[in-house]
A and B are shown apart, each in its own frame.
Chain A
Amino acid sequence: MVTWRFALLLAAGGLLPALLPSPWLMALAVVIIAVAVAVIDAVAAAPLTAVTLRRAGDTTVWLGRTATVTLTVGNTSGRPMWLSLRDSWVPSAGTGNAEHRLRLPGGAEEPVVTTLVPTRHGDRPAVRVTLRSYGPLGLAYRQRGQAWNAGVTPPWTLRVLPDFPSRRLLPEKLARLRVFDGAVVTRGRGQGTEFDALREYVIGDDVRSIDWRASARTHDVVVRTWRPERDRRVLCLLDTGRTSAARIGDEPRLDAAIDAALLLSVLATRADDRVDLLAVDTAVRARVQGGGHRAKVSRLINAMASLEPALVETDFGLAVAELMRRDHKRALVVVFTALDAAPLVEGLLPMLSRISTRHRVVVASVRDPETARLAVLPEAGATAEDVHLAAAAELALAERDRVQAVLRQQGVIVVDQTRESFASRVADVYLELKAAGRL
């Protein structure tokens, strides 16, 4: 294939027929010479089969951060190579500099760095590296088809971890946790209901916690210490159906749910509870259970990274069946869904009695501030259209209140907060339950 230089050569040759006799012959000669030079240039270009590609770099990145992936290009042919390449990723990988030009002497290698600023969480694959080898004169080049280029591309997938803005709340929540734990010296004993240990009485201890029986056995006064329960179970049940695809502000409802679930997971793991994850729409999209404490959080984050909202109706029956199959120990089940009447009344409510008898259930939903805003007419200059919208919004709000009331009747704790305070409120509910020993 020819480059713009070939066109320039032809255009420059256009002067010759004007200057020399027998113009048509001259024109033919110019075309023949230009084509011959281009063919020779293309033949002289280094073969594409001599290119070696190798990748290294980041495999995971938090959403909003920059990742770099290095593509090492090698030339195994003996000739110098003028190479132009495009490192194509999916658009949501946010490739900053996809096109690179480089000159490789025979046998040399050169790294090419592609920076990525992903715009969505999940797996972002590298799709194709397209190679183009120019001749020494730059008149013609070699390039092969899409399938061939896809074949030589070294595979690479960047896992983009979900945005976790409520990370900043973590120190405050952990501090509260330590207060319950008794690790921070407050008034007397640590809160909690679980027996921890016996120790010698020191002045300042609550006299009510003196264990007289143990004191009788020893020659000292001994007190009991308490701590919150450990090894409780927390299950985050994420609804990834159609209601999770709806946007609140600039992000899907699912992203807010993932953020809150992450905060809850980290907190509960620090409190020595076991956190499991189940993501369900018409099928189970992610399931994390069991395993060691230490690796749990990273497993949860990884599982949540790959979640995408699906435009299907969520099958809560499947979710409940999954729950029932697990061990029979009591758990805190946090259902991240939307408080929309139809899916909840038809999907979740009939199943609720089966799980709420055995588990503590929290239904958490992000509130859409736009509906509340639509319900309020402007103080002056309202039109009939505004009134119709306000009526529709009032209906939606009333419906939401009814759903909440029904859920509360069933003994469910409902969290309905705007995006800003959602994750914090979910964490607070957990901490309150933990402090009260009701997990």
Chain B
Amino acid sequence: MTALRSRRLRVVLPFAVVLVLALTTWIAHAVQQPDPTEPSFLSPVSDAGDGARALADRLTAAGVTVDRHTSTLDALAAANTGDATLLVTAPGLVHPEYLQEITSSGARVVLVAPERQALSDAQLFVPLTGPRWTAAAPEPGCAQPFATAPAAVLRWSYGEAPDEVFRCYGGGVVEMVTDDAAVTLVGAPDPFRNDRLDEHGNAEFAVGLLSRSSRLVWLDLHRQETPPPTPEPTIRTLEPEPADPGGEEEYPEQEQFEEPAQPGPGEPQDGGQAEQTQPNPLAEAFPPAFWATVLLLALAALALAAASARRLGTPVAEPLPSRVRAAETVRGLGGLYRRSRARDASLATVQAAACRRLADHFGLPPDSTLDVVAGRVAAETGWPEHEIRALLGGGVEDTDEDLAEKAAAVQNLVRTVTGHQAMIEGTVT
């Protein structure tokens, strides 16, 4: 039992060590990742490691007015007046509708590490690869004024964009023009952080990038934004008009959005929403009660399998006795004769045995020659002697049929002369 346990331990232990190491690394990495929902994340008023107070101070020192807003609507309103840069630190938290609004505003927009969903929400069709495990700091590789030294911007890498203006840091920084705005994508939040501002050329890059306009509108957003109020309640008349003070945007009628929190199966689907996540039609086809029952039945089946799997004691093994028959060697030898087509040898053996039996039957000495035996048989039975001699001493043609025929004839002769019983009994004891 201990041997079994130690063997199991030997198998399990290396895997367990590797698993623990991998799990620890993964958890540590996940903990180290900056979280946009933290209040300090890239906030111009935060001194924490992932805050951006240092950057805001340097921008102020460089003569840029930093204008902090915590709501997208306010930030949009501020950015639309005069020469301003709109810095969106967490594009993933901005409501999709606002994102589109941002990229079609007249301002210069900087999006920090937008992911696939945010890009498609913003109607920016840019392929992207990543994320890398950590942000890399490649050489600038372009001639923009802010790109003077390597900066830690390459965590997400952005591909070829339509209407691209420039591309720096191996795809880490890409600028493009949309309808009205110039949108800059930065692949990592690292250059803006307090604790990383002084690494590489992060400070030069960040200050240079954000001081291209005299005013910086800083969207400091830390939780998922509420959806904008629907301006035309033509279909959903039951919904009350929210009393939001900034709810007087004019939206085109075809851009109504479903509330993601309430995907009712019976509600009509609006067209023109390719980017919106479509609910699974199979899941929609049945009520949740059905799925809950299915889950419980599946669990019941699992429990039944587990109940049947445990045996009341394992089967007992014991060594088996030999099953070899005593005549196995005889059969094996016969098989060898057949395979080597030893027809002559087989027939000669059968004939010799017949001679021996006949000699024994007539009381002749056991070493009597064929002639003596044949003569005696001929004398006793009256058959022609040459035929008996041919039968007991003749060869065989090279066919199986001839062999079978001749051997049967030999044994039939013995049977006729001595009687059947002697053959069955075998040789005399």
Contacts and interface: CB of A to CB of B under 8 A. Distances in A.
Interface in B347-371: 347, 349-350, 352-353, 356
A6 B316 CA distance: 29
Contacts of A388: 334-335, 337-338, 342, 346
Contacts of B342: 388
Given A23-B291, A398-B356, 6 more contacts: A7-B301, A23-B287, A128-B313, A370-B325, A396-B330, A404-B429
Q: Most chain-A CB neighbours within 10 Å: which of B290, B330, B337?
A: B330
Nearest to B340: A388
A31 B296 contact: yes
A102 interface: no
B343 A14 contact: no
Interface of A: 1-4, 6-8, 10-11, 13-15, 17-18, 23-24, 26-27, 30-31, 84-86, 88-92, 99, 120, 127-128, 130, 132, 143, 146-147, 149, 245-248, 252-253, 308-309, 311, 338, 367-368, 370-377, 379-380, 382-398, 400-401, 404, 414, 416
Contacts of A86: 312-313
Interface residues of B, number: 67
Contact of B316 (A15, A89, A247, A386): A89
Given A88-B316, A375-B426, A391 B296 contact: no
A4 B404 contact: no
B31 interface: no
B373 to A, nearest CB: 16
A90 to B, nearest CB: 4
A248 B402 CA distance: 33
B262 interface: no
Interface in B173-228: none
A434 to B, nearest CB: 21
B381 interface: no
A120 B321 contact: yes
B316 A90 contact: yes
B407 interface: yes
B1 A147 contact: yes
B12 interface: no
Interface in B280-313: 287-293, 295-297, 299-301, 303-304, 306-308, 310, 312-313
B270 interface: no
Nearest to B291: A23
Contacts of B297: 10-11, 14
Given A130-B313, A394-B353, A309 B322 contact: yes
B248 interface: no
Contacts of B347: 387, 391
B23 interface: no
A89 B327 CA distance: 33
A397 B353 contact: yes
B11 interface: no
Interface string B77-89: 0000000000000
Given A23-B289, A391-B346, A252 B321 contact: yes
B403 interface: yes
A13 to B, nearest CB: 6
A90 B400 contact: no
B412 interface: yes
Interface residue SS majority, chain A: helix
A368 B349 CA distance: 20
Contacts of B293: 14-15, 17-18, 23, 27
B330 A2 contact: no
Nearest to A145: B1
B326 interface: yes
Nearest to B345: A391
A389 B331 contact: yes
B316 A370 contact: no
Contacts of B274: none
A397 B426 contact: yes
Given A90-B316, A392-B337, A1 B310 contact: yes
27 contacts: A1-B307, A14-B296, A17-B289, A17-B296, A26-B292, A27-B293, A31-B296, A85-B312, A86-B312, A88-B316, A128-B316, A245-B324, A246-B322, A253-B326, A308-B321, A368-B327, A371-B330, A372-B425, A374-B327, A374-B334, A376-B411, A384-B343, A387-B346, A387-B404, A390-B334, A391-B334, A392-B330
A379 B303 CA distance: 66
B343 A23 contact: no
Contact of A377 (B300, B307, B326, B411): B411
Contacts of A392: 330-331, 333-334, 337
A18 B290 contact: yes
Given A7-B300, A246-B325, A17 B292 contact: yes
A128 B311 CA distance: 13
Contacts of B423: 375-376
Nearest to A120: B321
Contacts of B304: 4, 7
B312 A84 contact: yes
Given A4-B304, A246-B322, A387 B296 contact: no
